[in-house]
Chains A and B, each alone.
Chain A
Amino acid sequence: MTPFEYLRAGDPGEAVAAVAGRPGAAFLGGGTNLVDHMKLGVAGPDLLVDVSRLPLDRVEETAGGLRVGAAVRNSDLAAHPLVRERYPVLARALLSGASGQLRNVATTAGNLLQRTRCPYFQDVTTPCNKRVPGSGCSAIGGYTRYHAILGASEHCVATHPSDMAVAMAALDAVVVVLGPGGERRLPIGELYRLPGDAPQRDTVLEHGDLITAVELPHLPAARRSAYRKVRDRASFSFALVSVAAVLDLDGDAVRDVRLALGGVAHKPWRAARAEEALRGGPATEDAFRRAADAELAGARPLPGNEFKVAMTRGVVVAALRDLAEEGR
């Protein structure tokens, strides 16, 4: 770890100015990802601006929705009565991530900005385009069990590791960003990038941009929602694949559906094709399977992770079937 200065910011504006003004500066939230990366040599900031104690730690009710402060801890968000009642998919996703100890520390913004768990990204002795642009991708031709089947590029096949973000993608959350130029709102679908030829950039945020809140829109249908995560261990491990699903039924027909996938792409993957295939149609297992297949038609698995196609199909069908049964 390289030496760094530490500054506890007094307010968000001060924090943004401090980081924006110094190329080597970084925000410190809970630190569960950043401190890990600093130990591994993946990150080496020369100034840490601690934003974990800024007054961004509240969950507030808005017109039908919720506004979640960026510094709200994952465990507190999952335990919040309104989240549990209105957005069970989000509470479930949060609770399926990491461990109790980590959820007590990790923040909402930090969780959104987690970096990939690709083992080559995390090992500075191996090439990685995300860590060192142009050095090559070690995962291609290597160990790919946790890698992407959708939206990857020849430069990077990493996946986004967050569970929470998958639920937020399904919920059409909006991310509030304070930058040197002021505040702006980004739909979560526009926050994340696919790797393309610049995998070093996970999101569209610029240096100095600070996420201050996440807004969850009014979505009554989300009261019937689920998060299913398939992994190699029963708990405390990253997803092989996961699905966040919201299902709104009108009798036996699908009035509306929201589907997002985790563990399959460089970003939380909103399954728009599957949603389109389902809307207005019957809520049957057959329809769920065809919808999953429509989404997965674009899958390009790697040698070593071909199983993710069938596994994704299985978990999507299971999640939707369970929600449909719950609704009958």
Chain B
Amino acid sequence: MNARITLRVDGRDRPVALDTRTTLLDALRDRLSVTSPKKGCDHGQCGACTVLLDGRRVVSCLILAVACDGSEVVTAQGLVEEGEPHPVQRAFLEEDGFQCGFCTPGQICSAVGMLQEVKAGHPSQVTDDLTGPVTLDDEEIRERLSGNLCRCGAYVNIVAALREETAPSEETSPRAETSPSEEAES
């Protein structure tokens, strides 16, 4: 069965005819050649396919494209504005928050969506006081990003990137100031 839908992807209207069975992820990758969302598991278990759908982070592999007709999709590619990487993307570069890079677009979209959730005051599993304001400490970052697996093990650097990104701009992380090799022999 085929359907005609229009997705707004990274700021452009993309009409497409597709099989109703096509997931949002496959529509982006195989039909629209938008390959920044990755297929790591195809079952919602790794987060590599994370995009922002109508402003919320979702795993695009478990959503049927046909159910998204008229929706707005932002991928990691679309976070770049006028050639300038998004601050979260810059923070990942700064803190070496990736190695092979395959989970990275998903981590970044997830982080961007997560920061919006925090701004909206959404609690997480590790929020002590459910009725109070939310403070984004390291534990909160880790819990909220746990839907994104990274086999290279860049987790601590990703958390550092988001710590940087969410900290007041004049502060710097202690880790960035001294290189480990300088410390080792001291």
Residues on A facing B (Cβ under 8 Å): 1, 3-6, 8, 28, 31-32, 35-36, 38-40, 48, 50, 52, 75, 78-79, 81, 84-85, 88, 91-92, 95-96, 98-102, 104-105, 234-236
| Structural contact, A88 and B64, CB atoms closer than 8 A | no
CA distance in complex: A88, B67 (Å): 32
| Structural contact, B20 and A3, CB atoms closer than 8 A | yes
Whether B97 is near chain A, meaning CB under 8 Å from some CB there, is: no
Min CB distance A239 to B, Å, is: 13
Question: Do A31 and B63 contact each other (CB < 8 Å), given the known contacts A3-B1, A99-B147?
Answer: yes
| Structural contact, A100 and B147, CB atoms closer than 8 A | yes
Interface residues of B in 148-171 (CB under 8 A from A): 148
Min CB distance A167 to B, Å, is: 13
Min CB distance A56 to B, Å, is: 16
Give every chain B residue within 8 A of A101 (Cβ-Cβ). 44, 47, 50, 57-59, 110, 113, 147
Whether B75 is near chain A, meaning CB under 8 Å from some CB there, is: no
CA distance in complex: A234, B145 (Å): 12
Whether B74 is near chain A, meaning CB under 8 Å from some CB there, is: no
**The 10 nearest A-B residue pairs measured at CB:** A99-B147, A235-B146, A84-B130, A79-B122, A95-B125, A236-B146, A104-B56, A101-B59, A6-B20, A1-B21
| Structural contact, A100 and B113, CB atoms closer than 8 A | yes
CA distance in complex: A184, B121 (Å): 35
Question: Do A91 and B1 contact each other (CB < 8 Å), given the known contacts A6-B20, A75-B122, A100-B113?
Answer: no
- The 8 Å CB contact of A84, one of B21, B110, B123, is B123
CA distance in complex: A190, B136 (Å): 40
Give every chain B residue within 8 A of A98 (Cβ-Cβ). 44, 147
Min CB distance A104 to B, Å, is: 5
Give every chain B residue within 8 A of A3 (Cβ-Cβ). 1, 19-21
CA distance in complex: A92, B128 (Å): 10
- The 8 Å CB contact of B64, one of A6, A95, A99, A100, is A6
- The 8 Å CB contact of B1, one of A6, A52, A81, A104, is A6
Min CB distance A206 to B, Å, is: 25
Which residue of A has the minimal Cβ distance to B67?
A50
| Structural contact, B125 and A31, CB atoms closer than 8 A | no
| Per-position binary interface string of chain B over residues 1-42, scored 1 when its CB falls under 8 Å from any chain A CB and 0 otherwise | 101000000000000000111010000000000000000001
Which residue of A has the minimal Cβ distance to B59?
A101
Interface residues of B in 46-79 (CB under 8 A from A): 47, 50, 56-59, 62-64, 66-67
Whether B43 is near chain A, meaning CB under 8 Å from some CB there, is: yes
Which residue of A has the minimal Cβ distance to B21?
A1
CA distance in complex: A91, B23 (Å): 30
CA distance in complex: A300, B142 (Å): 37
| Structural contact, A75 and B59, CB atoms closer than 8 A | no
Interface residues of B in 110-127 (CB under 8 A from A): 110, 113-114, 117, 120-125, 127
11 additional contacts (CB under 8 A) given A32-B59, A235-B142? A6-B1, A36-B62, A50-B67, A75-B56, A79-B117, A84-B131, A88-B130, A95-B127, A98-B147, A104-B113, A236-B147
A-B contact pairs, 17 of them (CB 8 A): A3-B20, A35-B63, A35-B64, A36-B43, A36-B62, A48-B64, A79-B117, A85-B130, A85-B131, A88-B130, A99-B47, A101-B50, A102-B44, A102-B59, A104-B58, A105-B58, A235-B146
| Structural contact, B57 and A78, CB atoms closer than 8 A | no
Question: Do A78 and B1 contact each other (CB < 8 Å), given the known contacts A6-B67, A35-B63?
Answer: no
Which among B43, B62, B147 has the highest number of chain A CB atoms within 10 Å? B62
CA distance in complex: A92, B123 (Å): 9
CA distance in complex: A36, B44 (Å): 8
Question: Do A5 and B50 contact each other (CB < 8 Å), given the known contacts A79-B121, A79-B123, A236-B146?
Answer: no
CA distance in complex: A252, B42 (Å): 51
Whether B137 is near chain A, meaning CB under 8 Å from some CB there, is: no
CA distance in complex: A4, B66 (Å): 11
CA distance in complex: A36, B127 (Å): 30
Which residue of B has the minimal Cβ distance to A122?
B43
CA distance in complex: A5, B113 (Å): 32
Give every chain A residue within 8 A of B123 (Cβ-Cβ). 78-79, 84, 91, 95
CA distance in complex: A166, B97 (Å): 37
Give every chain B residue within 8 A of A4 (Cβ-Cβ). 1, 20-21
CA distance in complex: A308, B12 (Å): 52
Min CB distance A9 to B, Å, is: 12
| Structural contact, A5 and B1, CB atoms closer than 8 A | yes
Question: Do A100 and B44 contact each other (CB < 8 Å), given the known contacts A3-B21, A79-B120, A95-B124?
Answer: no
